Chains A and B, each alone.
Chain A
Amino acid sequence: MKTFIKNIKRYHWYYIMILCGITCLILFSYIPMAGLQIAFRNFKPGNTIWNAKWVGLKNFWFLKDTEFWRIVKNTFVLTGARFVVSFPAPIILALLINEISNTAFKRIVQSITYIPHFISWIVVAYILDSFLSPYGGIINQLIEKLGGEAVFFMGSNNWFVPIVTISSVWKDVGWGTIIYLAAITSIDPELYEAAMLDGAGRFAKVKHITFPSIRPTIVLLLILSMPNLINAGIDSIYPLMNNANLEVSTVIDTYVLSNGLQLGKYSLATAIGMMSSMVSLLLILLTNKIANKVSGEGLW
């Protein structure tokens, strides 16, 4: 106790500083976590999270709802497709950029491909609309010129997943290369020289030196990207949703949002949200464990 008081006294400014951030976390992260209990209560407007009536597992009826499982399927189809394309894309692009020997060209490519990261998802939706619209969108103009019939891409169930995947690659592939390029730059050039003496070609060097050197970075980003498999992201999905594609575009995130904030079913929406938070946590823990087992490169 005595040392505790002494420590606090000596370092009080540091603790005050840390407390600024921790207060924010308590208000906007920890109290909402405590708010998860309304998944087991019947929360009505006017209630607090502490005084709503307990109802046990009643709110979890959605687990037996086929509608809910259809939405889970939508989510995984969407996030799975997005992951398969947009996780490896920046790695490949980084390797390609690294092969450029002209530094000016390299810088230009980097600067240009970073730009879309700073564009909002709403603007991305506008861009998609101007390209894909059946009334004069560029893509449909081309299709018509080639003798085809205009396609209503934005309102089609078949095109929703490809559109989301392509737009997320367009937006973030360049930005994603930054970390990989930094990892590649830190590789000892002597390794490449030694490999060259051994007669290793361009692809052998990538396979035996570059790739193994950036593997820890890849694993790190893989673990961090796991929550994206369950959180499709309202930010990027919602602007592209419309009545014509609802059947495939409703994902867990948007389902929670519309049930909770728009229809006022707070307890149900919280229960669904809690399941998805737990799955997301499990995915991170599991990937980390596998990474540790396989190569000892886990986050902790």
Chain B
Amino acid sequence: MVKKHIKHVKQKNDIGGKVFKTVNTAFLLFLCAVTIYPLFYIIVYSLNEGLDSMKGGLYLWPRVFTWFNYQYVFGNGVIKHSYLVTIARAVLGTLFGLLVTGLTAYGFSLKQLPYRKGLMLIALIPMLFSGGIIPYYIQLSRLHLVDTFWVYVIPCMFSVWNMFVMMKFFMGLPEELRESAYIDGAGDLRIFLKIILPLSKPVIAAIGLFIAVWQWNDWYSGAFYVSKASLLPLQTYLQRLFNANSLSMLTQNSQIVAEAAAHESQTATMTITSVKMAAVVIGTLPILCVYPFIQKYFVKGMLIGSVKG
């Protein structure tokens, strides 16, 4: 009787299970499609002739294929320059960020360090309370960082959140490493540089990538702390371009006008939207290209940081 009942339940579950599995798979496939399609669509749009795209009906593949939108964007001196600014801040921001955050994290990773709790409290309070953007801006301008390149790098050198991730990683390394090296007469700095750092490549990679992506995608500092056109990063340039509704806003320098005239037949088929899409793709593609290779580091970094304690 009991046996029969269990069998009955199992059978019922199997049918229900199969239905659930099918529905679940279908839903997740749909979700993947919804996630990826918008990105795919901007690529398609950027590779299609602008005037043709205006007609509508462009969904899965470029209809009138052209590289011209890209040629136009790459011919634009302002965009090229903003690209360089973004690369520079991503590189320098990551280096300085890793240096300051990593050193602090290592300092905090020694559990028996006297006064560690008090110092930790100093690091924790800003996570709960902040002065807000205006006093922050006043401080930036008092330090003469406003309207300089370094406003992208120096204020972002230390992140409490990243510091915790790195600290957890250092604390997870065997304590004996440090102790035995110390007994052998190695100084604290030497231990850090020669023993700990070589073992910490995964966490350095993870945090470095977090910082680099943040630097790449940050449009905010460029929009509010900087007014010099020569310091605009790519994402801030894209933000300004977003509200542009005619091509003339793009062609501010004469070199581009000349170039555009030379390609006049092609320029005629181009629209502001198609050029915008090309610019957006150029701003996103580097991240999408490296993403498959670095994904595991991101996930690792996220997981080290999420362990409570």
Contacts and interface: CB of A to CB of B under 8 A. Distances in A.
A130 B103 contact: no
Interface string B242-281: 1100000000000000000000000000000100110010
B308 A220 contact: yes
Given A122-B235, A130-B42, A38 B135 contact: yes
A178 B303 contact: yes
A12 B192 CA distance: 13
Contact of A257 (B13, B187, B224): B224
B40 to A, nearest CB: 11
A96 interface: yes
Nearest to B158: A24
A292 interface: no
Contact of B32 (A29, A113, A120): A113
A61 interface: no
The size class of the interface chain A forms with chain B is: 35 or more
Contacts of B216: 120
Interface stretch (B69-77, B87-95, B200-208, B284-292): B284-292
Interface string B6-34: 10010001001100110011011001101
B188 A239 contact: no
Contacts, number: 267
B196 to A, nearest CB: 11
Provide the main secondary structure of the chain A interface.
helix
A97 interface: yes
Nearest to B238: A122
Contact of A114 (B24, B135, B298): B298
Contact of B108 (A18, A24, A112, A216): A18
Q: Which of B104, B192, B213, B277 has the most CB of A within 10 A?
A: B104
A138 interface: yes
Nearest to A284: B128
Given A24-B158, A100-B24, A174-B35, A277 B100 contact: no
A14 B133 contact: no
Interface string B98-116: 0111011111101001110
A143 B143 CA distance: 53
Contacts of B284: 119-120, 123
Interface in A1-45: 7, 11-22, 24-25, 27-36, 38, 43
Contacts of A216: 308
A35 B133 CA distance: 10
B219 A120 contact: yes
Given A136-B273, A261-B224, 16 more contacts: A16-B107, A21-B104, A29-B125, A31-B135, A35-B131, A35-B134, A35-B139, A36-B131, A97-B28, A114-B295, A123-B238, A127-B39, A130-B38, A136-B54, A260-B137, A261-B133
Interface of A: 7, 11-22, 24-25, 27-36, 38, 43, 48-49, 93, 96-97, 99-101, 105, 108-109, 111-116, 118-123, 125-127, 129-131, 135-136, 138, 141, 170, 174-175, 178-179, 182, 199, 201-202, 216-217, 220, 234-235, 239, 242, 256-257, 260-261, 266, 269-270, 273-274, 276-278, 280-281, 284
